[in-house]
Structure 1
Amino acid sequence: MTIRPRGSTVAAAALTTMLFLAPPVATAHALSDPAKGSAPTAAAAALELPRPTGPYSVGAEVLHLVDHSRTDPWVPAAGARELMVSLHHPARSGAGAPAPYMSTEEARLMLVQRGLEDVVPATAVSSAATHARLDARPAPGRFPLVLLSPGFGTPRATLTSLAEDLASRGYVVASVDHAYESTGTSFPGGRVLTCAACDADNATPDEAAARALRKRVSTGRAADLAFVLDRLTGHRPAWDHARMIDPRRVAAVGHSIGGSAAASTMLSDSRVDAGVNMDGTFFEEIPATGLDGRPFLMLGTDARHSPGTTDTSWNDGWKRLDGWKRWLTVKGSGHFTFTDTPYLAEQAGLPVDPTAPLSGARSTAITRAYVAAFLDRHLKARHQRLLDGPTPGNPEVVFNNP
Structure 2
Amino acid sequence: MTSVITKRALPRPSGPHTPGRVALRLVDWSRPDPWVPDQPFRELMVSLWYPSAGGGRPARYLGQGAAATASTDDLDLTAIDLHSVDGAAVLRGEKRPVLVFSPDLGSPRDFHTSLVEDLTSHGYVVVTIDHTYETAVDFPGGRIAGRRAAKQAHLEARVEDVQTVLAKLTSLAEGRIPGDGVLPPWLGSVLDLGRLGVFGHGAGGGTTAEAMYRDIRLRAGVVLDGAPLPSTGGHDRPILLLGSEGAQTPEAFWARHRGWKRELKVLGTTPLSFTDYEPLLPHDPARLGPTSPGRVVTATRTHLRAFFDLHLRRRATRLFDGPLSRCPEVVVIR
Common fold: TM-score over 0.5: yes
Cα distance change of structure 1 residues 176 and 355 upon mapping to structure 2, 3 Å threshold: closer
- Aligned residue runs from structure 1 range 61-76, under 5 A: 61-76=22-37
TM-score, normalised with respect to structure 1: 0.77
Residue aligning to 2:162: 225
Map of 1:128 onto structure 2: 80
> Residue 57 of structure 1 aligns with which residue?
18
Conservation of the 8 A alpha-carbon contact between 1:66 and 1:82: yes
Amino acid at match of 1:190: G
Asked whether 1:148 is paired with 2:123, we answer no
CA contact 2:101–2:199 (8 Å) conserved in 1: yes
Query: 1:296 and 2:239 equivalent?
Result: yes
Within the candidate set 212, 227, 230, 1:281 is matched to 227
Structure 1 residue corresponding to 2:127, chosen from 165, 171, 174: 174
Deviates more, 1:44-53 or 1:249-258: 44-53
- Cα distance per residue 1:290-347 (max 9 Å; x no partner): 21x1000000022224xxxxxxx533211111110110011101001111111001xx
Q: Judging changes above 3 Å, is the alpha-carbon distance between structure 1 residues 274 and 135 closer, same or farther for their aligned structure 2 residues?
A: same
Contact preservation (8 Å) 1:149, 1:175: yes
Letter in 2 for 1:299: L
Counterpart position of 1:266: 212
Unaligned regions of 5+ residues in structure 1, if any? 1-26, 29-41, 202-212, 306-312
Equivalent runs, 1:20-99 vs 2, <5 Å: 27=1, 42-92=3-53, 94-99=54-59
Residue 136 of structure 1, CA deviation: 1.2
Question: Is the contact made by 1:84 and 1:187 (CA closer than 8 Å) also made in structure 2?
Answer: yes
Per-residue CA deviations over 1:95-130 (Å, capped at 9, x if unaligned) read 43111110233212434xxxx5xx457xx3122011
Determine if contact 1:143/1:170 at 8 Å carries over to the other structure: yes
Superposition pairs for residues 356-367 of structure 1, below 5 Å? 356-367=289-300
Q: Distance in 2 between matches of 1:144 and 1:177?
A: 21
Q: Is the 8 A contact 2:6 2:79 kept in 1?
A: no
Structure 1 residue 372, shift from structure 2 partner: 0.4
Q: Tell me if structure 1 keeps the 8 A contact 2:112–2:276.
A: yes
CA contact (8 A) 1:66 1:81 kept: yes
Answer with 1 or 2: which has the greater Rg: 1
Question: Paired residue for 1:163?
Answer: 116
User: What's the secondary structure of 2:110's corresponding residue?
Assistant: helix
**Structure 1 residue corresponding to 2:252, chosen from 294, 313, 316:** 316
Structure 2: segments with no counterpart, 5+ residues: none
Preserved contact between residue 209 and residue 229 of structure 2 (Cα < 8 Å): no
Q: Which residue of the partner structure matches residue 331 of structure 1?
A: 267
Q: Any conservation in 1 of the 2:295–2:327 contact (CA below 8 Å)?
A: no
CA RMSD of aligned residues (A): 1.8
Aligned counterparts of 1:286 and 1:377: Cα–Cα separation in 2: 27
Aligned twin of 2:277: 341
Tell me the SS of whatever aligns to 1:371. helix
| 2:68 paired residue number | 108
TM-score, normalised by the number of residues in structure 2:
0.92
SS of 1:367's equivalent in the other structure is helix
Deviation at 1:381, TM superposition (A): 0.5
Aligned-partner Cα distance in 2 for 1:314–1:242:
39
2:111 match: secondary structure: helix
Q: Deviations over 1:114-170 (max 9, x none)?
A: xx5xx457xx31220111111211111110110001100111121111111111111
Match of 1:31 in 2: none
User: Distance between the aligned counterparts of 2:177 and 2:57, measured in 1?
Assistant: 25
| Cα distance change, pair 106–222 in 1 and its aligned pair in 2 (3 A) | same
Counting aligned pairs with the same residue, the percent is: 38
Distance 2:74 2:144 in 1: 20
Is the Cα contact below 8 Å between 2:99 and 2:197 reproduced in 1? yes
Amino acid at match of 1:334: T
Letter in 1 for 2:240: L
1:267 shift after superposition: 1.2
| Partners of 1:254 and 1:276 within 8 A in 2 | yes
1:191 shift after superposition = 1.3
Taking the aligned partners of 2:37 and 2:205, their CA distance within structure 1 comes to 25
Report the 3-state secondary structure (helix = DSSP H, G, I; strand = E; otherwise coil) of the residue aligned with 1:138.
coil
Pick from 309, 316, 326 the counterpart of residue 376 of structure 1. Answer: 309
Residue aligned with 1:220, SS? helix
Return the structure number with greater helix share: 1
d(CA) in 2 for partners of 1:286, 1:386: 30
